Chain A
Amino acid sequence: MKQLAYSALLLAALLAGCSGNPSKEAAIEDRGIKAAEAEQMEGVKIVEAARVETQGAARAIPVSEAANKPGAGVNTSGTATQPISSKTTESVQTRGATAASSEVKSLADGKSAADAKSGGVVGGDKSTAAQDASTLPQPDAVPAWGDLKNPENPLSKRRLLFDYDSAAIRDEYRPVLEAHVQFMKANKAAKSILQGHADERGSREYNLALGQRRAESVFNAMSLLGVPEAQMEAVSMGEEKPVAEGHDEEAWQQNRRTEILYQGE
C-alpha cells in the first residue's frame, strides 16, 4: 500500500507538469527474438505478416546510353520480398481498426467511472491520487492477461486521448495508467508497445513526431512508476491510423491518442 501511494505521488507530480526525461537504455534490439518469446506466452496470437511486394523500375534508358542496352522501360524481374521484413512484422502486432472502434465506447465508460471513484474531485493533489490508488486491484489479485480484455477491469482501457498539439496526460487517465503499471510489474514477460497517434492536419512527418511524443509521455509516466524501460517501446503511427474517419474536431480528438498494446496479445 505504501508503495502504491508513493507511485501515485510520483504520477501526480508528473501530471502536474514535471516532465521526467529518463534516458532510454537497454534498447529492444531484436524483435525476432522477442517474438519467439511471445509465442510461448499464454493466449498468444501472432498476426499474419504484412505482405510487402517490391519490384524494380528501370528508368527509360537515357538516349546517350541506349546504344549499349537492349531494352528500356519497366523491369519486373526484381520482385524481391526481403525475408527480414516479413519476419519482423510478426513480432509486433496491433489490434487494428475493429478492436479499436469498440474501445472508444469503453473509454468513455472508464472516464465516468474514474470520476465517480474520486468523488468528483479532479485534481493532481496527493490525497486524491492516493485515494484512486486504493481502488486498484489488491496485491492478492494479481492482474493477469485475461484482465486486459475484461471490460470491468481498468486494464481493458487502452486509449489515452490528448489535446491539440499536446502530449500532456490528462488526470482522468491515472487509474488506467496505474492498472497497466501493476500489470507490467506482475507480468515481467509482458512487453508493452506504446503507440502514439496524431490527427490528420498538417505534415505527416511532423505528425509522426507528435505521435511519438505522446507515446513517450506515457512511456515516461510508466517508467517513473517503476516499469523497467526494457519492458516498453514507444513508437508512433503519426496520422496514418485514424480510428475516426471524419474531418472535424470530434474525429480529430479521437485520433490524438496513445494506445497501450501488448506484444503477443
Chain B
Amino acid sequence: MTIEIVGGAANQIPVAILPFSVPVAPGMPLGLRNPAEVVAGDLGRSGYFRVLDVSDVAVPPAEPQDVQLQDWKNRGADAVVIGQIRPQSGDRVEVRFWLFDAVRQTRLAALSYTTSSAGLRAVAHRIADAVHQALLGEPGAYGGRIAYILKRGGRYELQVADADSQNAVTITASPEPLISPAWSPDGQRLAYVSFEDKKPVVYVQNLADGSRRAVARFRGSNSAPAWSPDGRRLAVTLSKDETSQIYLLDLLTGEAARFTRGGALDTEAVFSPDGQWLYFTSDRGGSPQIYRASLSTGAATRVTFEGGYNVSPALSPDGRTLAFVHRRDGRFHIAAMDLNSRQMQVLTETAYDESPSFASNGRLLLYATLVNNRGILATVSVDGKVKQRLSQSGDLREPAWGP
C-alpha cells in the first residue's frame, strides 16, 4: 500500500530522528530493521512533523551524553530522538529511546520496552506515539490497527493491517460482497456483513484463530453491526419484522430485541462510549438524518439539521465529536460536529466520501473515497488540516480504525 500526504499542519515541528544504535553483540537477533525508520515514517506521514535528513550520521549516539544537541539545533531541529537496542535472552531485545528539546537542551522523554524481534515494529509505533504526545500534548494514533475491504479481480477480502498499512492480513475472502467491518472494543473480534448467502448476514470472527459464526441470519436483510462498549451486544439492522429497524443483539443468548419502531428506515447505529446513547441514521423526518436515542428510554431526538442527507455516524472515543457523511451540492463529504456547540465543519473536498471512523486518539478520521474512479482510503485530522491517502491495486473501501 502507498501512503501519500496531501496536506499538513501550518507549523510542522522539525525533528531529527537518529538511527538507533544496534551493537554487534553476542545474542543479538540478525536482520533487525532499525526502529528509527518506522518512527520517522510515522511522524513524517502524520503531517505534524518535518523529519530532518540524518543520512550523514555515521555512528549514531547510543547514550544521552553522546548526542550534540547544539549541533542539531544549528541544523534546524527543534527536537531530537535517539535510541538503542540491547540483546536480552533468546529472541528478545530491549529498546530504549530518549527525546530531547534541542532548543532548550532538555530531556522530554525516556522509555524502555522489551519485546521479541517480531514485535519491534509495534514498539516503534509506540515510540512514535510517545514522541507525538510529548511534543504536541495529545496522544498519537500510530499503534492501532485498521480493517477494510479490498476488492480486486471480482473478489472481496476483509483485511487487517497496522495503522501505517503494513502487515496486511486477509482474514476473510469471498466471491460475494463484504461490507461494514466493526471492531470489538478489545480488538479481538470483527463483526461484518457478508453476502455469501446471497443476502446480507452479520458474522462475528475471532482474529486469533479465524473462527467465526453468523450472529444475525434472520428472514430478510441483516446488516450494520456496531459493538456495545462492554462487547456483549451488537446493534444491528434487521428487516425481519418490518422495514429496516435497529435491534440489540445479545451475543451470548442470540436474542434480538427490537429498539426502533415505526415505518421509517432506521440503520447505521453506533453506541456512545458511555453506553447511554445510540446514534443512528433514520429517514423518519423525510430525509436521512442522524438521530440520538437513549438506550434506557428509547426516546430519540434529531442531531443533524443542515442539508438533506447526513448519514453514517461515528463517535470520537471521548463522545464529544460526531463525524458523518454530509451531502452538499450533490457531493458527499466527511463532516464533524462538536456535540456541545452543535457546530458542524466539512472536512474534505472529495466528492464520494464514505464510512468515517475515528482513530483511538480522537484526532484523526479514516474514511473511504474515490479518486479517478478508484476506491482509496484517506485520513483527515478533525480540524481538516492534515490529510493522507492510502491506495493500492484494487478498490479499498469500508475502513474501520481499531484498537
Contact = CB atoms under 8 A, between A and B. Distances in A.
Interface stretch (A53-61, A102-110, A117-125, A184-192): A53-61
Contact of B116 (A23, A61, A247): A61
B43 interface: no
B121 to A, nearest CB: 7
B211 A203 contact: no
A193 B240 CA distance: 14
Contacts of B1: none
A216 B243 contact: yes
A237 B240 CA distance: 15
B207 A59 contact: yes
A89 interface: yes
B156 to A, nearest CB: 9
B325 A202 contact: yes
A21 B195 CA distance: 26
B169 A74 contact: yes
B391 interface: no
B354 A204 contact: yes
A63 B126 contact: yes
Contacts of A73: 118, 167
A241 interface: yes
Interface in A72-94: 72-75, 77-80, 82, 84-85, 88-89, 91-94
Contacts of A63: 113-115, 119, 122-123, 126
Contacts, number: 227
B240 A203 contact: no
Contact of A57 (B122, B160, B194, B213): B160
- Majority DSSP secondary structure for residues of A touching B: loop
Interface stretch (A137-145, A172-180, A207-215): A207-215
Interface of A: 19, 21, 23-24, 27-29, 31, 50-63, 66-67, 70-75, 77-80, 82, 84-85, 88-89, 91-94, 193, 195, 201-206, 208-210, 212-213, 216, 233-238, 240-241, 247
8 contacts: A54-B212, A71-B118, A72-B116, A78-B211, A80-B209, A80-B211, A204-B398, A208-B244
Interface of B: 92, 113-116, 118-119, 121-123, 126, 145, 160, 162, 167, 169-177, 179-180, 187, 194-200, 205-214, 217-221, 223-224, 237, 239-244, 263, 265-268, 281, 288, 309, 311-312, 325, 327, 332, 352, 354-355, 373, 397-398
